[in-house]
Amino acid sequence: MVTAKIAPSLLSSDFARLADECERMLTLGADYLHMDIMDGHFVPNLTLGAPIIKSLRPHTKGFLDCHLMVSNPEQWVDDFADAGADLFCFHYEATNNAAVLIDKIHAKGMKAGMAIKPNTPIDVAFEFCPKLDQVLVMTVEPGFGGQAFMPDCMQKVRELRKRFPDLDIEVDGGLDPENIEVAAEAGANVIVAGSSIFKAKSPGDVILLFRKVVSEAQPSP
219: pLDDT strictly greater than 80: no
Distance (Å, whole) CA 155 – CA 162? 11
Residue 221 lies in a domain: no
Residue 183 lies in a domain: yes
Distance (Å, whole) CA 32 – CA 70? 21
Residue 58 lies in a domain: yes
Residue 36 lies in a domain: yes
On whether the CB atoms of residues 106 and 133 are closer than 8 A, the answer is no
Tell me which residue of 115, 151, 126, 104 sits closest to 37, measured CA to CA: 115
Q: How far apart are the first and last CA of the chain?
A: 7
Q: Which residues are annotated as a binding site for substrate?
A: 9, 67, 143-146, 174, 194-195
Count the domains in the chain. Answer: 1
Distance (Å, whole) CA 80 – CA 37? 11
Identified catalytic residue from 65, 86, 168, 172: 172
pLDDT of residue 143: 78
220: pLDDT strictly greater than 90: no
Kindly list the distances between the CA atom of residue 137 and the CA atoms of 47, 89, 125, 205, in Å, as whole numbers in the listed order. Answer: 20, 11, 10, 25
Residue 152 known to be catalytic: no
User: To the nearest whole percent, how much of the chain has pLDDT over 70?
Assistant: 98
Q: Which residues are annotated as a binding site for a divalent metal cation?
A: 34, 36, 67, 172
Q: Report, as an integer, the average pLDDT of 53-59.
A: 98
Residue 25 lies in a domain: yes
The pairing of beta strand 134-138 with beta strand 168-172: parallel
Residue 167 lies in a domain: yes
Residue 211 lies in a domain: yes
Residue 50 lies in a domain: yes
For residue 119, what pLDDT band results from cuts at 50, 70 and 90? very high
On whether the CB atoms of residues 86 and 53 are closer than 8 A, the answer is no
pLDDT of residue 147: 77
Identified catalytic residue from 31, 36, 39, 133: 36
Range of the structural domain that residue 104 is part of: 5-216
For residue 148, what pLDDT band results from cuts at 50, 70 and 90? confident
pLDDT of residue 80: 98
For residue 216, which amino acid is it? E
Phi, psi of 189 (to 5 degrees): -125, -10
pLDDT tens digit sequence for 22-42: 999 999 999 999 999 999 999
| Residue 125 or 218, more confident | 125
Mean pLDDT of all residues belonging to the chain: 96
pLDDT of residue 221: 62
On whether the pTM is more than 0.85, the answer is yes
Residue 36 known to be catalytic: yes
CATH of the domain at 76: 3.20.20.70
